[in-house]
Structure 1
Amino acid sequence: MSKAVTLIRSDSLSDAAEYAYAATAPAEARLIFLAGSCPLTEDGATVGLGNYAAQAARCIENISTALAEAGASIEDVISTRVLVASTQQADLVTAWEVVRDAFGEHDAPSTLLGVTVLGYDDQLVEVEAVAAVRD
């Protein structure tokens, strides 16, 4: 199966970003919209209490599982949104570094946000994603 996602980089925009600024998928691609991935175990327990990196890692594990069940992988992600329950930039960066490292060379466009609260007890991180595949 050939990859549907094309990452777009710009020489006219800041190179400070650690991701492509845009991505495209052809009209015939099937889009996969993932719900926000939470740092939960199979039985619904929140992992990594108080640990932004551990929670981000679990979110990526859960995204990878959902993608696989939809017939996709990390390399098919066209964009992400990383939500971090903190007012401290360092906490956002901690979560972001885990997500960035998980995506490796496939640096899909992403938005990193600090939020006041997330949906589960003790939840600090949530990661949303959209993927595109050719069947």
Structure 2
Amino acid sequence: MTHRLIRSSTLSTRAEYAYAAVVAPASALVVTAGACPLDADGAIVAPGDVRAQTQQVMANLVVSLAEAGASLTDVVKTTVYVASSDRSELGLAWEVVRDAFGDHDAPSTLLGVAVLGYEGQLVEVEAVAAIAAP
């Protein structure tokens, strides 16, 4: 096993993710760039739609991880950025991310930010994964 997710028996169970991850010494780390809601032509998908953009982001993240030899179940940490100060929009993005990961509840940070890199971009997700060392 390349990693182990840590769930605290002392901290609140309100968080929908593990509180920490331990990566085995013989593992290789995969660090992704922020996955963006871009289609194959480089256009932002679903302007103004946090949920649809997050779905595209997660699809793009799956591809990035796969090309590095990893999958969502190898992820040990994510950071989710949502260009909004509205907590309900952060919640919409988180629902999509959480559903994509299923039972693999890797530690995560969810942030509302003022702006992201592309015009019309509302969501970005970066990940760190642990895989068997080559």
SS in 1 for 2:5: strand
TM-score, with length taken from structure 1: 0.97
In structure 2, how many angstroms separate the alpha carbons of the residues matched to 1:115 and 1:10? 28
What is the 5 A alignment of 1:44-123?
Answer: 44-123=42-121
* Count of aligned residue pairs for this structure pair: 133
SS in 2 for 1:36: coil
* Identity score, percent: 57
Flag as ranges the 4+ runs of structure 1 deviating above 4 A.
none
User: Aligned residue for 1:34?
Assistant: 32
RMSD: 0.7
User: Aligned residue for 1:133?
Assistant: 131
- Residues 24-63 of structure 1: per-residue CA shift (max 9 Å, x gap): 1111100000000000011110011111011111111011
In structure 2, how many angstroms separate the alpha carbons of the residues matched to 1:23 and 1:104? 17
Unaligned 5+ segments in structure 2 are none
Unaligned 5+ segments in structure 1 are none
